[in-house]
Amino acid sequence: MSKKLGYVTFERERRPLFLELSPGMGAKDYSEETAREIDDEIRSIIDEAREKVRTILSKKKSLLETVARTLLEKETIEGDDLRELIKNHAGDNEGDQLREEANRPD
């Protein structure tokens, strides 16, 4: 789950014997403090993932715009054409890595 909380299950599935429980009815298996920690960790994980995605998209913006323009012109891009676009794309720090990835077989 996270470094702070570890790989633990905090709530197990409840199956009532006779009546269905309404949402919110029934005791939690953890304290309010632990619930806040879980919420904080989830928020942190989501924020980190969002930042990672923004960084990747920023680094690849030029390539993504090139691919988008090509799609607007042609409507589809075959695998070989996409690999060629990636191979020819320059201007980011990961050009060599992109070329390596483009040369890998499907």
- Same-domain check for residues 40 and 82: no
Note whether 54 and 96 are same-domain residues.
no
Number of domains in the chain: 2
* Residue 93 predicted with pLDDT over 80: no
Residue 52 lies in a domain: yes
Question: What separation in angstroms does the CA of 65 have from each of 38, 45, 61, 76, 97?
Answer: 38, 28, 6, 15, 19
Pairwise CA distance, residues 74 & 29, whole Å: 56
Which residues, 6 or more positions from 71, have their beta carbon under 8 angstroms from its beta carbon? 77
Query: Is residue 44 assigned to a domain?
Result: yes
- Looking at residue 35, what is its pLDDT? 86
Higher pLDDT pick, 31 / 57: 57
* 102 and 73 within one domain: yes
- At 33, list the tokens: 């403090």
The pLDDT of 43-47, averaged and rounded, is 92
Per-residue pLDDT band for 18 (boundaries 50, 70, 90) equals: low
pLDDT in tens, 46-61: 999 999 999 999 999 9
Residue 54 is predicted with a pLDDT of: 95
* Domain ranges, residue 53: 29-59
- Domain membership flag for residue 5: no
